[in-house]
Structure 1
Amino acid sequence: MMTNTKTQKQEVFINTFNELHKLLNEKLKSDFLLTDKGKGKVSTYDLTFSECIYTIKKYKNNKYRDFSRYIDELYLVNNLRNTIIHDSTNKFYDIAEPSDNTMKIMEVLFNRFVKPISIKNYINDKKAMQPIILNPETSLSEMLNYISKYKISQFPVFNSNELMGMISDNGITNFIANKNETGGILFEEEKISDLIESNLDLEENRKSYEILYIEDELYQVIDRFADVESINKYILISKSGNKIFRSKEDLVGIFTPADISEIMIFLDSKN
């Protein structure tokens, strides 16, 4: 005879599982409805946990790259949940008692999906330096001082409160090399506007950045750098929920592919 009797661990496991399932259903439903399995389903349809996993796998090379890292764990907790719910009896109510390791896995999944770490959490915890913003009148000498002092080589350029684009080490190097070929360069006299005018670096980098909201999940930064093509991409962080820059004060962070390893270490330390 089936029973609802559960151990304390099983109760905690099932309650956490249900919260995870609810969250995944909300996040994945719209994409599931576009799949072969989802066609014909109404918008009020609730995904089974297996359908949640199916959707993550279906889009793993696109928008759910990070989710797909947890496929094995999601299968594990789903199988255990089904055993607890469907196979437990009065006599063998503890037949599927979650191990300490399984409870830890569930905790990791819960923290990852239900209570994810935000970009803001990371920036505040790491006490990340505010981006150094240049304007067209900034001298190259001043910019080079920033490079020497802070060991950075990516600079957003704002004309008043409008983001013009990004200047990279590649554009800086090309500009200096071209100037050297034509007779040398006086860094105090050259301005960012001269660099912009002399090469296409800024134009090329107009499409090399993406904007994320500071309250977005930190995992989204990892997802954005998943492609090989993103090696020269920047992630700019805005205080605006519309993912725009109303003013230069909205720009509060910059991520490059070089930051990924540190982000991964940070996330692992929180699990």
Structure 2
Amino acid sequence: MIVACAIDRRFAELAGVMIYSLELNGSIPEADIWIIGDGLRRSDKEKIQACAKRKITFHDLDPSTLQHLAGFKTTSNWSRVAYARLFLPALMPPTGNLLYLDADTMIKGSLRPLLEMDLSGKVIAAMGGPSKHNLPIGRAQDAFYFNSGVVLLNLKEWQSQELTLRALELLKGRMFAFPDQDVLNLVADGQTVALDPKWNSQLAKATSDEVRIVHFTHAKPNTTYCVHPDKALFLEYRSRTPWANARLKTMWDKRLNRLLHSLRRKLKPSPKGR
């Protein structure tokens, strides 16, 4: 199995701690780790590599891929690299499974059951259920809608169905509230397996020993305003990485990031043909 994460520089710290927790608790030493990067510096890669026992494969987004992403929706919290998960399966060998993990996840238990999961005839396994997010994308509210932060992908099925091309066609044809996540749900419609919530635990009160993957979907654990009960464990793990002495980000950092993103959007010329 391949474990992959897609980040820009802002999420290097979170990705490093996630990988440290994977090495410590994941119980899948044979899995390959890939980091898809957008603008990562050599120093960023060196720090992330220092968090792992095994060699990490770094893949920088190339100009042709970035050209595909031009004009797609971004926010101050959600950069163009979020779309990279749609390209990931096309970069991999067409065998086995790919486990995609957002950088803001933390591994608390063995991932071996995911490594051994049989996805024959299915495209994706993920945590989800009926959701109001189905309605804006033209699906019934009781349809299975999954969160894209932890996704197990069947590489053979994805590639044989050319779902990367299908995803790009959808993105170019309409606007989505949650583009990468909405599109993944559409291309895998009827071909999904529901994962237990322990594989993508997003509740701040979920401290059960059964949780295997924590997903910090709101305030990130490297901020002063995060109150998640697993923040202390995150900081313990971080203390063993190159970010041990990094300061916690504040609300002022968040506001500055929003301001800079707004300025970049105003100054950036509109792509031709859009």
TM-score > 0.5 by shorter chain: no
Q: Which gives a bigger RCO, structure 1 or 2 (Cα 8 Å, sep 6+)?
A: 2
Higher percent of residues as strand = 2
Q: TM-score range by the shorter chain?
A: under 0.3
Larger Rg: 1
TM-score normalised according to structure 2 size: 0.20
